[in-house]
Amino acid sequence: MKTLNLDEAAQFLRLHPEELRRRAKAGIIPGAKLGKRWVFIEDDLVACLRSLYATPRQALQVGHEEKQLCHSLNVVRRGGLVSPHQAASELDALLQLKTKPKHRNSTTS
């Protein structure tokens, strides 16, 4: 297991050392600060780089039928259990609340 200092790791990642320090401090890139110096494990930097690779597109997997998924079914919904149709109908119901009729002045002639 090879360790790299800040300058070596920055050169390995093709980043400016200050940018690498910021990313490591934010936890974006794995590293540890020992005393006044940053230390990076080369294997962790390689894994971090590989995690940034683009995922293969579905069009490239045409020959693998078991891997083809309907992505619209795999969408994660956020915001609770209310469907958009239910929310719209509830909003319509609220907008159609009846208001009290205005009092008319009635004068007799």
Q: What is the pLDDT of residue 92?
A: 72
Task: Classify residue 74 by its DSSP letter.
Answer: S
Domains and CATH numbers, the chain: 3-51 (1.10.10)
pTM higher than the cut 0.85: no
SS3 for 54?
coil
* Residues 38-95 pLDDT 10s: 999 999 999 999 998 888 766 555 555 555 445 555 555 555 555 566 667 776 777 7
Question: Using alpha carbons only, how large is the chain's radius of gyration in Å?
Answer: 30
The contacts of residue 15 (CB under 8 Å, 6+ apart) are 23
The β-bridge partners of 37 are: 34
